[in-house]
């Protein structure tokens, strides 16, 4: 009996040993990725984010876990998703775009947040200042909303004889009223008339293009808004269907068949955000990490789309393009 008991005990200990070892291993830190967009239209950003993490020696599944929460363009979903990540709890939250960042900031004052937003983060209440954020959030300000006026101006240069332009806006975007005010002021200063069309769901985008056709609007600028990024294919298809020249915010639009884009290299912004998340996981404080700002903006023209629309791009506009897709 003694020998049999000893053998049984030995095998019991051996079987339990892996469980014991696993129990003693520290759990991997968790990144909560809160993005108002969809995984389908965000693949380049997420790949770049992982590169930024890897540059700081963090690899998903190896020494860090990532919990994904996708808003799919629905801003109303963000508060509940932010609360889920806080409840896990995540060690740090990456918040993509204004609705995600504002939801994360409202959900926690202690878990570090790294954001990527297009609107002034001081104005949004995310940080106290660019150089000294002073709280649990820092990240990148990529100027997407600030460039709405620039995009309208480039569209006007594309069609110099046109004095009426359209702008597509999502009234549910946190910065929507400021976008409206800035566009109207810029149009007035340039002697232009700008007609604003509102859309916050796919059906309203369809309706906006129908209304532009009835109003004989010759060209459209799509304002900076992550909801529109989730509807990129729809927007490009409608622009082709209605034969309307359209200006967008990121090069991915022009690469997919949109006429023009002007904005930052979005994947590179997420690479930098990955670097900041890695630094936070290593112990640096968000309160001491300054808000980063891009130094390069890209103007991209798709000549194939221009030809399909019957447009001749002015030589002066072509000369300032950073990339011409043929």
Counting residues of the chain whose pLDDT is more than 90, the rounded percentage is 89
CATH for 30-143+265-288 is 3.40.50.2300
Mean pLDDT of the 78-82 span: 98
Confidence label for 15 from pLDDT (cuts 50, 70 and 90) = very low
**Secondary-structure class of domain 148-263+298-325 per CATH:** alpha beta
pLDDT above 50 for 24? no
Q: What is the DSSP letter of 296?
A: -
Beta pairing class for 246-248 and 220-222 = parallel
Look at residue 284 in the predicted model and tell me its pLDDT.
97
Confidence label for 9 from pLDDT (cuts 50, 70 and 90) = very low
Tell me: cis bond preceding 169? Omega within 30 of 0 counts: no
CB atoms < 10 A from the CB of 316, how many? 9
pLDDT above 60 for 254? yes
User: Nearest to residue 73, comparing CAs of 50, 94, 97?
Assistant: 97
pLDDT above 70 for 181? yes
**Distance (Å) of CA 44 to CA 168, 204, 265, 267:** 25, 27, 11, 6
Look at residue 10 in the predicted model and tell me its pLDDT.
44
Look at residue 238 in the predicted model and tell me its pLDDT.
98
Phi, psi at 68, each rounded to 5°: -100, 135
Please give the structure tokens belonging to residue 300: 């991209």
Q: Which residue has the higher pLDDT, 277 or 21?
A: 277
pLDDT digits (tens, 9 = 90+) for 97-125: 999 999 999 999 999 999 999 999 999 99
Look at residue 61 in the predicted model and tell me its pLDDT.
95
Confidence label for 6 from pLDDT (cuts 50, 70 and 90) = very low
pLDDT digits (tens, 9 = 90+) for 38-62: 999 999 999 999 999 999 999 999 9
CB atoms < 10 A from the CB of 293, how many? 12
Q: Which residue has the higher pLDDT, 4 or 101?
A: 101
Contact 266, 252 (CB under 8 A): yes
Mean pLDDT of the 181-190 span: 92
Please give the structure tokens belonging to residue 303: 């000549």
Please give the structure tokens belonging to residue 194: 């700008």
Q: Fold identical between 30-143+265-288 and 148-263+298-325?
A: yes
Query: DSSP characters for 43-112?
Result: HHHHHHHHHHHHTTT--BTTTBEEEEEE-TT-GGGHHHHHHHHHHTT-SEEEEESHHHHHHHHHH-SSS-
Q: Which residue has the higher pLDDT, 2 or 280?
A: 280
Identify the burial level of 4 via C-beta atoms within 10 angstroms of its C-beta, where 0-12 means exposed, 13-18 middle and 19 or more buried: exposed
Mean pLDDT of the 230-235 span: 96
**Helix axes 232-241 and 202-215, enclosed angle (nearest 10):** 20
pLDDT digits (tens, 9 = 90+) for 194-213: 999 999 999 999 999 999 99
pLDDT above 50 for 11? no
User: Nearest to residue 142, comparing CAs of 121, 122, 170, 125?
Assistant: 121
Q: Give the gyration radius of the chain's Cα atoms.
A: 24
pLDDT above 90 for 7? no
Contact 121, 182 (CB under 8 A): no
Look at residue 325 in the predicted model and tell me its pLDDT.
96
CA distance 100 to 96: 6
Taking all residues of the chain, what is their mean pLDDT, rounded to a whole number? 92
Planar angle of CA 258, 259, 260, nearest 5 degrees: 100
User: Nearest to residue 300, comparing CAs of 261, 244, 252?
Assistant: 261
Confidence label for 26 from pLDDT (cuts 50, 70 and 90) = low
pLDDT above 70 for 18? no
Look at residue 295 in the predicted model and tell me its pLDDT.
86
Look at residue 27 in the predicted model and tell me its pLDDT.
83
pLDDT above 80 for 273? yes
**Distance (Å) of CA 123 to CA 97, 119, 129, 287:** 14, 8, 10, 17
What does the domain layout of the chain look like in residue ranges?
A: 30-143+265-288, 148-263+298-325
pLDDT above 70 for 89? yes
Q: Tell me the whole-structure pTM to 2 decimals.
A: 0.88
CA distance 100 to 227: 12
Confidence label for 13 from pLDDT (cuts 50, 70 and 90) = very low
Q: Which residue has the tokens 């390069």?
A: 296
Please give the structure tokens belonging to residue 322: 């950073």
User: Nearest to residue 253, comparing CAs of 269, 271, 240, 268?
Assistant: 240
Planar angle of CA 21, 280, 282, nearest 5 degrees: 45
């Amino acid at each position: 009996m003694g020998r049999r008991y000893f053998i049984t005990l030995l095998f019991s200990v051996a079987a339990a040993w892996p469980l014991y070892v696993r129990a003693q291993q520290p759990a991997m830190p968790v990144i909560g990725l809160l993005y108002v967009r969809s995984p389908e239209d965000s693949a380049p950003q997420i790949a770049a984010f992982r590169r930024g993490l890897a540059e700081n020696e963090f690899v998903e599944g190896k020494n860090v876990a990532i919990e994904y929460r996708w808003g799919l363009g629905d801003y109303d979903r963000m508060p509940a998703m932010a609360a889920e990540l806080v409840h896990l709890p995540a060690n740090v939250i990456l918040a993509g775009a204004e609705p995600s960042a504002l939801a994360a900031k409202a959900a926690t004052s202690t878990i570090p947040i790294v954001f990527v937003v297009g609107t002034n983060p001081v104005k949004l209440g995310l940080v106290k200042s660019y150089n000294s954020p002073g709280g649990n959030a820092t990240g990148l300000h990529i100027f997407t909303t600030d460039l709405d006026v620039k995009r309208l101006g480039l569209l006007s240069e594309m069609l110099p004889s046109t004095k009426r332009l359209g702008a597509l806006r999502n009234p549910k975007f946190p910065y929507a009223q400021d976008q409206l005010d800035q566009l109207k002021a810029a149009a007035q200063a340039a002697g232009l008339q700008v007609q604003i069309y509102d859309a916050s769901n796919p059906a309203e985008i369809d309706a906006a293009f129908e209304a532009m056709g009835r109003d004989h609007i010759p060209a459209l600028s799509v304002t900076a808004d992550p909801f529109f990024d989730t509807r990129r294919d729809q927007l490009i298809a409608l622009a082709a269907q209605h034969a309307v020249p359209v200006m967008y915010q990121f090069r991915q639009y022009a690469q997919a068949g949109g006429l023009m884009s002007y904005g930052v290299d979005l994947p590179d912004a997420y690479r930098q955000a990955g670097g900041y998340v890695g630094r936070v996981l290593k112990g640096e404080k968000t309160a001491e990490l300054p808000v980063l700002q891009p130094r390069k903006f890209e103007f991209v023209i798709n000549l194939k789309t221009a030809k399909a629309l019957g447009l001749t791009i002015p030589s002066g506009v072509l000369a300032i393009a950073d990339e011409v897709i043929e």
